[in-house]
Amino acid sequence: MTIKEVQDSIVDEFSLFDDWMDKYNLLIDLGKELPVIDPRYKVKDFLIEGCQSKVWLHPEFDGNLITFTADSDAIITRGIVALLIKVLSKRSPDEIITSDLYFIDKIGLRQNLSPTRSNGLLSMVRQMKLYAMAFNAKIK
């Protein structure tokens, strides 16, 4: 699936629910599917510091695609990371850099997870793109 197709399927899934509680239950379930980071990467170097919950994000580059693994100490945040990984993991650096992540708005996450809420959502996206740029610079 393309980045667009994955985003559209996420938007479809969330649109099944009107109630915020159901959306959060879905996020909690998604968090359980998160490809869990190797404990040795759960260190400061891979920490994305939000104000409220911690996120560890590790990129693995095989010369072609980047694979992300992650974890968070908060379960809802873990669900959000899981969504980002669904969309952006196992992609080429170029795909990641140029991706337009419209699903965040469409499922109503941005309004609830704005930068001032310090959930780190935007820092996560920024960090994923930064890794992609770094790997891109390496191969070019």
Q: Which residues bind another protein (CB under 8 A)?
A: 20-21, 24-25, 28, 51-53, 73-77, 112, 118-119
How many other β-carbons are positioned within 10 Å of the β-carbon of residue 139?
Answer: 10
> Distance of alpha carbon 123 from its chain centroid, rounded?
10
For another protein, the closer CB: 20 or 102: 20
Q: How far is the CB of 44 from another protein (least distance, A)?
A: 14
**Cβ nearer to another protein, comparing 75 with 134:** 75
DSSP string, 68-134: EEEEESSHHHHHHHHHHHHHHTTB-HHHHHH---THHHHTTHHHHS-GGGT--HHHHHHHHHHHHHH
- Min dist. Cβ of residue 116 to another protein (A): 12
| Residue 21 falls in the annotated catalytic set | no
Pick from 36, 50, 26, 53: which is nearest to 108 by CA? 26
Least distance to another protein from the beta carbon of 43, Å? 16
Nearest to another protein of 33, 94 (CB atom)? 33
> Letter for the amino acid at 72?
S
CA distance 49 to 65: 25
Nearer to another protein, 53 or 99 (CB): 53
> Nearest distance from residue 75's CB to another protein, in Å?
5
Which entry of 1, 28, 51, 130 is annotated as an active-site residue?
A: 51
Task: Show which residues are catalytic.
Answer: 51
